[in-house]
Amino acid sequence: MEPEAGTVGFIGLGNMGLPMSRRLAAAGWRVLGYDISEEARRAASAHGVEVAGDLAAVAPGAGLVVLMLPSSAVVSRVLDDDALVGHMAPGTIVADMSSSEPLRTQELAAALAARGIRMIDAPVSGGVAGAEKGTLTVMVGGAVPDIEQARPCLEVFGRVVHAGEVGAGHAVKALNNLLSATHLWVTSEAVLAGRRFGIDPSVMLAIFNSSSGRSGSTENKWPNFILPATYDSGFGLRLMVKDMAIAVQLAEEVGRPSRLGRSALALWQEAADGLPAQADHTEVARWLARAEDGHGD
């Protein structure tokens, strides 16, 4: 079956995939969705997504197949499964919007190209709130013609930025999250030290945000998720650790090891070991505060 320009396959209907596929359907796209979770399939079906019974039913007719999956390992399993790729028409574009390993992405792209399938990587930043509002930053790696063909779909999710060749999107996403995690950790240490000295955290944040210490952590995460003690940014702590590990590994693979990144990763891993499996990444501030107050885990 020839691919249809207005039909999108969407694999992975979880925390990010559900609002993203829902936005596509609301924007008038025909969305063929699949997830191994029956609950996720039911939720997507209630919001205009045509739920497929298996991977094989996603590909026929879809000009673009989006993957929003937990890791490169899962992406590889899905793309190695002939039930999906074997039903794709030549010229179909696969957009891996997961947070994946850049070098592995390049390997998958080469394998798909040998079968006439084009691949771009298009991870996002902005969390669940950004997915719901359509304000994500979409970091895209791939050939310009492929990106331009996929752009009308990707722009439903937010602002599209071409990062470079295939794999570049996944690289910059991981590096971005390494920065994000590192400044959240040091911001938390700074605020907790100031609080111990007797300074109101809100006052500190106001000063930081009008000074050179400001960051996404001082402007968004601390005032919106940590001070109110909701810890519900929508991005899991273990996903942050995974992305940090990808960035640190990439730095080593290209011969530019990140000494601070490696140390930050070790600290975050310590917090992950002491927090519940589903903890939001902003929980790291509460974990640090408990350690400071002598309560352990």
**179-190, pLDDT tens digit by residue?**
999 999 999 999
Of 275, 244, 284, which Cα lies nearest the Cα of 262?
Answer: 244
CATH of domain 4-164: 3.40.50.720
Per-residue pLDDT of 16-52, as tens digits, reads 999 999 999 999 999 999 999 999 999 999 999 999 9
Segments making up each domain of the chain, as ranges: 4-164, 171-292
Answer whether 193's CB lies under 8 Å from 262's CB: no
pLDDT of residue 61: 84
- The yes or no reply on domain 171-292 and CATH 1.25.40.10 is no
**pLDDT on residue 28:** 94
What pLDDT is recorded for position 295?
57
Report in angstroms the alpha-carbon separations of 109 from 49, 63, 262. Answer: 27, 16, 28
pLDDT of residue 60: 84
Indicate whether this model's pTM tops 0.85: yes
Give me the mean pLDDT over the 147-167 stretch: 97
Give the pLDDT of residue 2: 42
pLDDT value, residue 234:
87
What is the residue type of 214?
R
Cα–Cα dist 39/158, whole Å = 26
Q: What is the pLDDT of residue 294?
A: 65
Are 4-164 and 171-292 the same fold in CATH? Answer: no
Q: Given this model, what pLDDT does residue 297 score? A: 44
In the predicted model, what is the mean pLDDT of the chain? 94
pLDDT at residue 108 is higher than 70: yes
Q: Would you call 242 a catalytic residue per the annotation?
A: no
Q: Which of 133, 173, 221, 242 is catalytic?
A: 173
Distance from C-alpha of 174 to C-alpha of 261, rounded to nearest angstrom: 11
Phi, psi for 29 (deg, rounded to 5): -80, 145
